[in-house]
Structure 1
């Protein structure tokens, strides 16, 4: 995990990137609020770096901007390297949900795929109303624990070693029923 100063720097870069994306799209805070369902004041505080976004709110923003979360988080880093040493893999934690996300192989210009390692604490749920990019291909490989994954209205229960693969065109939900945490690898392939 990052120390406090590194986290503050990443948070301030994320805030600046979110503000620049809104400006690039020519949207007011009210327009972005209408697209994401997030309040105008929350969006303003996030863009000023006064509030760190939750996984759910960041997911809504990614959907509005047509980006995966990994791609957005990579955009706040300098040019991504070809080799990604374990110690430099970006880790993001949402304490409000109990969700940890490590960008093992971040998005890179000219490449369509990325690899993310995720951990859900017992009882944790991550839901997305819409895919950040319609038709994005995902492969979920459970490494520890049990995951309940809902895609296209169907729920799949996966245990260690199980893999679920799909194209994401609608809402999705990842849930850790417990009693142990769930650790899974998510492979994302852009359309």
Structure 2
């Protein structure tokens, strides 16, 4: 029988550090909860609950906050984890789950402040539909290589159906959307390059 309690404790610790970091970012900019609510389109009460660790952010909420704070999701998550080693073994790669939307995000390559790129593995269950209002950093370069299944990606006003083996690449300036039409899940590798 596997002991899952260390993993549960680790996930809870990361969630608590994430809540604290979100509060720090707001305070560093001198913003009130009302100001952040206005800039992000997230209600003041939801922001307050996020910062106190009472709720976990969904992918969409975290995407909005990353855009306001001009960070990629990987960078924000790296800020709440300990210093990553150069080699990250598969079992040690950080995994973040948004049960509400059906999105699972694995940080395959260790984020590093001196590097501009990172590799992420994404998995969406059938019917998952995630929309982001804006990129965390305007002009963010993305390469999406579908490993299994198919995904419908809308970026900069254009919609693409990307199937297993296909690769879509673009610079993101506006809204984006990832939708898994099914019948099975989609698994893809995402290379993100900061401008």
TM-score by length of 1: 0.98
User: Where do 5+ consecutive residues of structure 2 fail to align?
Assistant: none
Give, in whole Å, the separation in 1 of the partners of 2:21 and 2:42: 17
Give, in whole Å, the separation in 2 of the partners of 1:105 and 1:127: 24
Paired residue for 1:105, among 103, 106, 109? 109
User: Where do 5+ consecutive residues of structure 1 fail to align?
Assistant: none
Q: Name 2:152's counterpart in structure 1.
A: 148
RMSD: 1.1
Q: Name 2:167's counterpart in structure 1.
A: 163
TM-score by length of 2: 0.96
Q: Name 1:38's counterpart in structure 2.
A: 42
Paired residue for 2:63, among 50, 59, 74? 59
Q: Name 1:68's counterpart in structure 2.
A: 72
Q: Structure 2 matches for 1:69-108, cutoff 5 A?
A: 69-108=73-112
* 2:85/2:110 contact within 8 Å kept: no
Deviation per CA, 1:16-45, whole angstroms, max 9, x where unpaired?
A: 100110111110000000011111111011
Give, in whole Å, the separation in 1 of the partners of 2:79 and 2:157: 32
* 2:87/2:110 contact within 8 Å kept: no
Give, in whole Å, the separation in 2 of the partners of 1:99 and 1:177: 14
User: Across the two proteins, how many residue pairs are aligned to each other?
Assistant: 191
Report runs of 4+ in structure 1 exceeding 3 Å deviation. Answer: none
